[in-house]
């Protein structure tokens, strides 16, 4: 069997374990380095640039920030967000390892380990998916992990995610373009029991009507012109894992019935065939549209809406969670500095203020593009406000998200969300600014899932 091209770095203070892994891992991976102490980790990461770090959870060090493994996991993710970390833990520390996965670790291995499981987990971390899913999985469009911040809105989203991720409940994620709906879907999958199975992502709105059934359900040879061989659709590719249908609100009404039938029956039939194929998937959908309004307007099937809306999660706009702007920017700086081999290391105070005061109409995606451009063009090691090119901020009315083209309900919802962001969730201040009573505000918050 050919060796994996993955570069593996092992950090463990047990000499016996290092000796065993020094024999085992080079049989399966082309480059392996082993160090006894995390004190060498930063230097070794810079020199070796590993794809995956196998990190022990406990060392005899003078770090007093809690468990050492969690501390060094955070350091790795802060410096090189794309590096995958597999935690190496004793049975008694499994709870800590699970916490580590919530903080960005790919997986954990319990000592004493099984050689085959260890090797397969490291390979899965390198590919970002399991060996079984290698052919079928399609990664989310962003490799980011969720940055939860400290705001009330994202804390509520995270709490809901942690509750529902281990279940098979169908999830509908809503939010503006660029808020990270695909990243949240990936996080739900990663924290689910299906994490080692494929996550298949589909831009449902981009499917042409002629190829809709073929792409989702597959086709058999000869089903139509140019069908020269059998084709496995997205539902089958996601077998045992998660199917993520992005932009589901863009599916034409007459095609929604075909999707509903597959979801209801938990089976699909390939185009040109009569055989029903059972499917075992977890369904996550996302949209930037107001599906409730589309249902009322007859543009989206009510029965499909309730099928996909078992759990509804709304991602607030980036301007509604300002505590995340600078940490996200720093994450992008680290990523693009490494990718483009630049020496940019952070933001000046004035650059940070510039970012925080900007109205991010494109949300996280706009911030990401802005930081990539800034890193490429920067002359120094610290980005200043002069290095950051931003469109001129909009006036106050558009900063609330109101453009004049919305319905009355959409205008009301945006005004409430803008007030919640402006006053940090202080309901008394929000109600006062909107000239409504607190009971009325409570009712509208519930109505708009704020």
pLDDT score at 355:
93
**pLDDT exceeds 60 at position 140:** no
pLDDT digits (tens, 9 = 90+) for 278-299: 999 999 999 999 999 999 999 9
Which are the contacts of 181, defined by CB distance < 8 A and separation ≥ 6? 173, 174, 175, 246, 286, 288, 315
Query: Average pLDDT of 407-423?
Result: 79
- Give the model's pLDDT for residue 406: 60
pLDDT at 389: 87
* Dist CA 368 CA 380 (whole Å): 19
Which pLDDT score, from 0 to 100, does residue 62 have? 52
pLDDT band at residue 92 using 50, 70 and 90 as cut-offs: low
Nearest to 391 by CA among 359, 348, 351: 359
- According to the model, what pLDDT value does residue 65 have? 44
- Residue 383's pLDDT is 94
Say if residue 338's pLDDT is above 90: no
Residue scoring higher pLDDT (163 or 320) = 163
DSSP 404: S
Cα–Cα distance for residue pair 148/162, rounded to 1 Å: 12
| pLDDT above 60: residue 11 | yes
Q: What are the φ/ψ torsions at residue 76 (nearest 5 degrees)?
A: -65, -45
Is residue 324's pLDDT more than 80?
yes
pLDDT band at 171; cut points 50, 70, 90: very high
The Cα 450–Cα 442 span in angstroms is 10
Contact between 383 and 344 under an 8 Å Cβ cutoff? The reply is yes
Mean pLDDT of the chain: 85
Residues 6+ apart with CB under 8 A from 383: 333, 344, 346, 347, 348, 351, 374, 375
Distance CA 405, CA 394 (A): 16
List the single range of 80-94, 262-276, 328-342, 405-419 with lowest mean pLDDT. 405-419
The single-letter DSSP state of residue 272 is T
Whether residue 329 is predicted with pLDDT greater than 80 in this model: the reply is yes
SS3 (DSSP) at 52: strand
pLDDT at 429 over 80: no
pLDDT value at 276 more than 90: yes
Whether the predicted pLDDT of 308 surpasses 50: yes
- The rounded distance, in Å, linking the Cα atoms of 224 and 226 is 6
d(CA 68, CA 38): 9
Q: What is the CA radius of gyration of the chain?
A: 24
C-alpha distances (whole Å) from 108 to each of 56, 100, 243 are: 10, 9, 25
* pLDDT band at 410; cut points 50, 70, 90: confident
Instruction: Please answer whether residues 209 and 255 qualify as being in contact, where contact means their C-beta atoms are separated by less than 8 angstroms.
Output: yes
Say yes or no to pLDDT of 26 above 90.
Answer: yes
Residue 36 confidence class, pLDDT cut points 50, 70, 90: very high
The pLDDT value given to residue 394? 45
Note the pLDDT tens digit of each residue in 378-398: 889 999 999 998 865 443 344
Burial zone of 113 (CB within 10 Å; 0-12 exposed, 13-18 middle, 19+ buried) = middle
Please state the rounded mean pLDDT for residues 365-385. Answer: 91
| pLDDT at residue 208 in the model | 80
Contacts 24+ apart (CB under 8 A), 20-29: 21/54, 24/115, 24/118, 24/119, 25/119, 25/122, 27/3, 28/1, 28/3, 28/4, 28/119, 28/122, 28/123, 29/3, 29/4, 29/5, 29/122
Angle at which helix 15-24 crosses helix 115-127, to 10 degrees, equals 70
What letter does residue 28 receive in the DSSP assignment?
A: T
Residue 60 has pLDDT above 70, yes or no: no
Domains of the chain from N-terminus onward: 4-127 (3.40.50.2300), 152-314 (3.40.50.300), 321-387 (1.10.8.60), 402-447 (1.10.10.60)
């Amino acid at each position: 069997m050919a060796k994996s091209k993955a570069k593996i770095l092992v950090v463990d203070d047990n000499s016996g374990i290092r000796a065993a892994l020094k024999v085992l891992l080079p049989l399966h991976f082309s480059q392996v380095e082993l160090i006894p102490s995390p004190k060498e980790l930063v230097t070794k990461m810079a020199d070796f640039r590993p794809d995956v770090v196998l990190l022990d959870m406990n060392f005899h060090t003078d770090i007093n920030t809690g468990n050492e493994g969690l501390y060094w996991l955070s350091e790795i993710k802060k410096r090189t967000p794309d590096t995958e970390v597999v935690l190496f833990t004793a049975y008694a520390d499994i709870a800590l390892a699970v916490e580590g996965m919530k903080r960005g670790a790919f997986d954990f291995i319990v000592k004493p380990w099984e050689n085959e499981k260890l090797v397969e987990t490291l390979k899965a971390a390198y590919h970002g998916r399991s060996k079984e899913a290698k052919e079928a999985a399609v990664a989310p469009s962003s490799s980011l992990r969720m940055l939860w911040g400290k705001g009330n809105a994202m804390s509520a989203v995270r709490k809901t995610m942690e509750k529902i991720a281990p279940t098979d409940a169908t999830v509908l994620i809503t939010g503006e373009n660029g808020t990270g709906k695909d990243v949240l879907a990936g996080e739900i999958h990663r924290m689910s029991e299906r994490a080692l199975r494929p996550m298949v992502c589909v831009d449902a709105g981009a499917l042409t009507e002629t190829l809709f059934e073929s792409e989702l359900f597959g086709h058999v040879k000869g089903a139509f012109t140019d069908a020269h061989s059998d084709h496995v659709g997205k539902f089958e590719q996601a077998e045992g894992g998660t199917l993520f249908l992005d932009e589901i609100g863009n599916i034409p009404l007459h095609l929604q019935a075909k999707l509903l039938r597959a979801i209801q029956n938990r089976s699909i039939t390939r185009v040109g065939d009569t055989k029903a194929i059972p499917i075992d998937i977890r369904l996550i959908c996302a949209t930037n549209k107001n599906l409730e309004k589309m249902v009322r307007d007859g543009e989206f099937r009510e029965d499909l809406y309730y099928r996909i809306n078992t759990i509804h999660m709304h991602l607030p706009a980036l301007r509604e969670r300002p505590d995340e702007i600078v940490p996200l920017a720093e994450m992008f700086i680290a990523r693009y500095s490494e990718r483009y081999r630049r020496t940019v290391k952070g933001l000046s105070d004035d650059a940070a203020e510039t970012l925080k005061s900007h109205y991010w109409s494109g949300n996280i995606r706009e911030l990401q593009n802005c930081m990539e451009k800034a890193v490429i063009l920067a002359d120094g090691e610290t980005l200043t406000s002069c290095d950051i090119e931003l469109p001129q901020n909009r006036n106050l009315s558009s900063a609330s998200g109101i453009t004049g083209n919305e319905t009355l309900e959409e205008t009301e919802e945006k005004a409430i969300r803008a007030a919640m962001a402006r006053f940090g969730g202080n309901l008394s201040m929000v109600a006062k600014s909107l000239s409504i009573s607190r009971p009325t505000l409570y009712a509208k918050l519930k109505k708009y899932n704020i």
